Structure 1
Amino acid sequence: MELQQMRYVLAVAETNSFTRAAQRCHVVQSALSHQIARLERELGAKLFERTSRRVRLTPAGTAFLPAARQCLEAAERAVGEVAAAVGEIRGRLAVGLIPTVTAVDVPGALGVFRQRYPHVRVSLRVGASDDLAAQVEQGTLDVAFLGLPTSARPAGVAAQELARDRLVAVVAPDHPLVGEHMVDLRRLADETFVDLPAGTAGRSQTDDAFTAAGLDRDVAFEVTTADYIARLVRPGLAVAMLPAAYAPELTGVTIVEVVDAPSRVEYAIWNHFGCTPAATAFLEILDIGPLVDVGSYRSR
């Protein structure tokens, strides 16, 4: 069994396509297919179900995937540790963040990092706090920056609190609430909302606040990015609640303070088994960690 075979399996699993996996791995499809078939013979089990229309993991493939990912991560960590021992930072740095992070300048820090450590392969993934936390725990990401309700904390990872922030209402420039010095959740409950998908950490902080106040609200629009939230707010289709530190970055909308608004906490997280040399160097640029603080966060 070879590491390259594992890389091919992961690529197919993540793209659901032998063609796209070959393109990602910069090999011809026949070579990738041959190596996976060779691995399947060695394992004595098919890893993928192949039809003319789709490719998907078999139960054996699903069982194989986590261990294969851990092997590849261990190999990358070994390369990085050896390089660090001789005074170099190499390997990879995989960073994740939610779009509304404001406590740290992640793009700026990545720019400094690439100048200092040009031999590190840097990648960035933007997503939801729940997904990013799981990927850090699994080792897919090295570091991530989250925003969680004050009632939740990251678990299964090392974490450091960065900042706390209240939410504000974001409305169209001609909305009737413009000009109000401050509103409350009861007044906002009459509005139509746009928010993140139900069940995400970013959504639950607002849902929990309305529930605690004994109020219902109408979330007619569910989107996955904050910039698209603003696109629906501008023409007056809906109102939204976003972190006060992030909301001023949006254009064409007006901010209204909310007296009983919920708060959120921004965290930096990394694997509780420790950081790679590259991740440690990146956190040092941001003056973060490595302090272990395992909490009780659960996907909501």
Structure 2
Amino acid sequence: MELHQLRYFVAAAEAGSITRAADRCRVSQPTLSQQLQRLEASLGHSLFDRLGRGVALTPAGAALLPRARRILAEADDAREHLAGEVERGVGTLRLGAIPTIAPYVLPSVIARLRRRFPSAGVEVREDLTEALVERLASGELDAAIVSTPIDHHGVRLRVLGSEPMLVVAPAASDVGEEGGLTLADLRERPRVALHEMHCLGQQISGFCSAKNLGASVACSTAQLATLLEFVRLGLGVSIVPEMAAVADRSRERRYTRFKRGGPRREIALATPAGRTPPATLEAVALFASDRLREMQAAASARFGG
């Protein structure tokens, strides 16, 4: 059963004539008759009684007619409105982010996205990089905001920006009192570490090992918020993303930039390879990039650099 066959069927039923239906559909009479016969064959029922110069619906034809009209109306509606709905972002965007980015970037992105695409729904998943990558590759997510590197054949990356890491210490500490830190300033200080279940934790741990920083790890935690509290309590210093420093309004912690040689992380929008992106995705990339620039400007104003 094909749409053009249903159109020919409805035209013949309404015209009561194969000839008049062919004229209405702008096809030859043999073509229309042939397509009606194929429709009857596919359904296993005769749809018309041929009555001299005209045709009349059989019981099967009468049962099919309202269904055919509904099908054609739905097809016409889809043809008329589909492009507009795609442009308006109708549907649900499934967006992920890693925990060390999500609280600082996603609220701004989603707020702007809802204003730009009021018809769009958003489902958010905050998870570790490995889990997000697997969900992207399997098509369970449309996109995720992550940090590089990621090497997976089922995922493609679009770099949105990068940010430096800052050293955080208790406000009463002498760390960073003169502005700017060298690697030597941290070499003998205890460190509060982010667990290596996070890609950020792995990156910072690798940097510290390579630079021989943090003679001892005083404690390790899976949450940035907990890490910051341990720093406030004086358990050690730590290295955190610039965006976390911008978001922290506590006067009991001090943030200082490395004078040179400090770690950075690259932030990217990951999407499933080979999949057509939803219309909302370009806006997500734009809004996320804007948010990163906003935080960088705020960091420059507060911490210099």
TM-score by length of 1: 0.58
Residue deviations 1:1-60 (CA, integer Å, cap 9, x gap): xxxxxxxxxxxxxxxxxxxxxxxxxxxxxxxxxxxxxxxxxxxxxxxxxxxxxxxxxxxx
Alignment-derived partner of residue 271 in structure 1: 272
Shift of 1:187: 3.2
Q: Which of 219, 222, 227 is the matching residue for 1:221? A: 219
SS at match of 2:195: coil
How has the CA–CA distance of structure 1 residues 281 and 214 changed in structure 2, closer, same or farther, with 3 Å as cutoff? closer
Q: Which amino acid aligns with 2:271?
A: W
**CA–CA distance in structure 2, aligned partners of residues 82 and 226 of structure 1:** 49
Q: Which residue of 2 aligns with 1:208?
A: 206
- Offset, 1:254: 0.4
Q: Which residue of 2 aligns with 1:73?
A: none
**In 2, distance between residues paired with 1:82 and 1:227?**
50
Q: How do 1:13-162 and structure 2 match up within 5 A?
A: 85-88=82-85, 89-101=89-101, 105-148=105-148, 152-155=149-152, 156-162=154-160
Conserved 8 A contact 2:166-2:255: yes
Question: What secondary structure, in the 3-state scheme, does the structure 2 residue paired with 1:194 have?
Answer: strand
| CA distance, structure 2, for counterparts of residue 161 and residue 238 of structure 1 | 33
Per the alignment, residue 37 of structure 1 pairs with none
Q: Distance in 1 between matches of 2:240 and 2:80?
A: 42
Q: Is the 8 A contact 2:93 2:122 kept in 1?
A: yes
Match for 2:247 among 246, 249, 256? 249
Change (3 A) 1:206 1:278: same
Distance 1:83 1:133, change over 3 A: farther
The question of whether the paired residues in 2 share the 8 Å contact of 1:96 and 1:145 is answered with: yes
Partner of 1:187: 185
| CA pair 96-164 structure 1, distance change in 2 beyond 3 A | same
Rg larger for: 2
| Matched-pair identity in % | 22
Cα distance in 2 for partners of 1:116, 1:126 equals 23
d(CA) in 2 for partners of 1:125, 1:278 = 19
Q: Which deviations, in whole Å up to 9, do the C-alpha atoms of 1:273-300 show, x marking residues without a partner?
A: 2244254354365388xxxxxxxxxxxx
How much does 1:214 deviate?
A: 4.3
Counterpart check, 1:175 vs 2:176 = no
Instruction: Decide whether aligned partners of structure 1 residues 83 and 153 sit closer, same or farther in structure 2, where only a CA change above 3 A counts.
Output: farther
Separation of aligned partners in 1, 2:240 and 2:117: 35
Distance 1:177 1:201, change over 3 A: same
TM (normalized to structure 2)? 0.57
Specify which structure has the higher proportion of helix.
2
Which runs of no fewer than 5 residues in structure 1 stay unpaired?
A: 1-80, 289-300
| Cα pair distance change 1:140/1:199, threshold 3 Å | same
Give the SS at the match of 2:84: coil
Sort the Cα spacing of 1:82 and 1:173 in 2 relative to 1 into closer, same or farther, 3 A: farther
Tell me whether 89-98 or 273-282 shows the greater mean CA deviation.
Answer: 273-282
Question: Distance between the aligned counterparts of 2:105 and 2:212, measured in 1?
Answer: 37
Amino acid at match of 1:283: V
In the TM superposition, residue 127 of structure 1 has moved relative to its aligned partner by 3.0
- What RMSD in Å do the two structures reach over aligned CA positions? 3.1
- Residue 179 of structure 1, CA deviation: 0.6
Q: Residue 112 of structure 2: SS of its match in structure 1?
A: helix
Structure 2 regions of 5+ residues with no counterpart? 1-77, 290-305
1:142–1:275 Cα contact (<8 Å) kept:
no
In structure 2, do the counterparts of structure 1 residues 83 and 143 end up closer, same or farther at CA, with 3 Å as the change threshold?
A: farther
Q: 1:276 to 1:86 in 2, by over 3 A?
A: same
Q: Which amino acid aligns with 2:266?
A: V
Counterparts of 2:264 and 2:237 in 1: how far apart (Å)?
18
CA contact (8 A) 1:139 1:271 kept: yes
